[in-house]
A and B are shown apart, each in its own frame.
Chain A
Amino acid sequence: MQGRRRGIAGALAALLLGVACSHTTGSAGDGTPVAMPPSAPVIEQAEWRISAHPSGNIGPMSKRELRRVRAESLPLRRAVTEVYDALFLDPAARPAVLNKRFAARAARALPARSGVPASVEKVRTTLRKADIGIDASGARRAAAKVKIRARGIASGERFALLHRGTLWLEKKGGTWKIMAFDVRQKRLR
């Protein structure tokens, strides 16, 4: 009887540890694995809740316009998740993403302190939400409202923050780029 109990206990422990380990793989919410810096353990992140919809139309849209908007929906979702993954989960990728996803002036204007610092040890996003409006006539411009809540440890100190961002995007050379932004980030208690 005691041997059986030990067996069950062992199995449960193994199961729980297995569950714990399985969460360390992490994802960007869209199924893309997040590349974390070697120093930071990978932790399960909040699922991205993204809505992308046509905006700016007066009256019904033509089939062509609808097709264009639908075609840009995925690239836009990707642009937003890429930027925020770099700001919050993968500081090492930040320069490359800034270069790829921001217009030069906008990249220069983005404060180094937005998102988490490069010294982050652990971070866990508890909310990742974006609402993207895509220009109904042409789908070459878009505006996104993003909200991120995160907790973590940086330089041995715990932090919790709320980030709200408005991103103004334009499609340049086949790539969605942020040409302007308005970000507000504050510490949570």
Chain B
Amino acid sequence: MKVRIALLCAFVAAVASVVPLIGPSDGQAASLVVGRARGTFQPRQGKVFVLVIGNDARSGNPDRSLADAIHLVGINTRTMKGGILNFPRDSWVSIPGSGAGRINEALFRGGPELLARTVHSVTGIRPDYWVMVGFDGFQDIIRDIGPVTMTLPRAIYDPYGSGANLRAGRQPLGAVKSLAFVRTRKVFLDGDVARTTNQGRYLLALLRKFRGEIDRKPASLLRWMTVTRRHARLNVGAGDLYRLGVLASQVRPADVGNVTLPVSIGTAGAASVVFIQDGARTIYERFRRTGAL
């Protein structure tokens, strides 16, 4: 009997030494809970602005092309809120060193750098970086990263323009459908204004996809980087692109406003253009101050 007790005591002592902490927790250690915490890089003044350009070149990213998509994307790295400011391509503006013209001509006249300077002169916001993609590059990006899911409020059918034939509702858009969606303008009453707003919506859908993938597998950021560097032209080094990617992965699409500049239709000489309305000034000011919309 004494032997059994001795064995039992020895066993209990051994088990207690090996697994002293297994068992139900009384849950009193609330101070151990951090919830969610994030730390990311902080660019100048806690804001970063990226000019996203879509040119009309069917292949490559030549300087001498027109900008069909012009979006200034901002992120406030403190609040993790952001904004997409969409510029209708026919906006009549002053192009630095090149007189007046449609904003999309700035790309033709002086490449992405001049377009960035033009956006700066119009808004007072200097883009930190620019990224430019053409038709082929855009489709190659979508082919490499996979379809982007979007919810369309109504069907889009534009057989003679963009070639879009999209049903209403939530659906994945592959390379061809994505390009058709972001190009469609003729079937909308407000034409290019609706198109540029849709392009902003597409960027938000892209952000949603990006975040979903990063959440599941953080290293997929490296793939997105490779794809971007392969198919787009940009003035962002690998290190900064990585940091921008990390930053973007921490911004919720719901916290990103998609705003198109208020414009009115008019003419400049024989050209049909749009004029940016005075109300845009408050948008620029807010965007410049907060990095968000």
- A residues lining the B interface (CB < 8 Å): 5-6, 8-10, 12-13, 16-17, 19-21, 23-24, 43-44, 53, 55-58, 103, 105-111, 113-114, 116-117, 122-124, 131-138, 140-145, 151-155, 157-161, 166, 168, 170, 179-189
Top 5 A-B residue pairs of the complex, sorted by shortest distance between their CB atoms = A133-B219, A109-B39, A56-B222, A159-B29, A13-B10
The CA-CA distance from A47 to B28 in the complex, in Å, is: 27
The CA-CA distance from A182 to B247 in the complex, in Å, is: 11
Residue B166 interfacial (CB < 8 Å): no
Q: List B contacts of A183 (CB < 8 A).
A: 34, 36-38
Contact partner, B10, options A17, A107, A159, Cβ 8 Å: A17
Q: Could you list 8 examples of A-B contacts with CB < 8 Å?
A: A23-B18, A55-B219, A114-B37, A141-B242, A145-B218, A153-B21, A160-B27, A187-B29
Contact partner, A17, options B14, B28, B218, Cβ 8 Å: B14
Contact partner, A44, options B3, B18, B223, Cβ 8 Å: B18
The CA-CA distance from A9 to B221 in the complex, in Å, is: 60
Q: Which of B34-52 contact A (CB under 8 A)?
A: 34-42
Q: List B contacts of A188 (CB < 8 A).
A: 25
Q: List B contacts of A143 (CB < 8 A).
A: 218-219, 221-222
Interface size class of B (residues with CB under 8 A): 35 or more
Q: List B contacts of A160 (CB < 8 A).
A: 25, 27
Q: Are A56 and B13 in contact (CB under 8 A)?
A: no
CB distance from B177 to the nearest CB of A (A): 22
The CA-CA distance from A170 to B223 in the complex, in Å, is: 16
Q: Could you say which of A135, A142, A168 has the most chain B C-beta atoms within 10 Å of its C-beta?
A: A168
Residue B243 interfacial (CB < 8 Å): yes
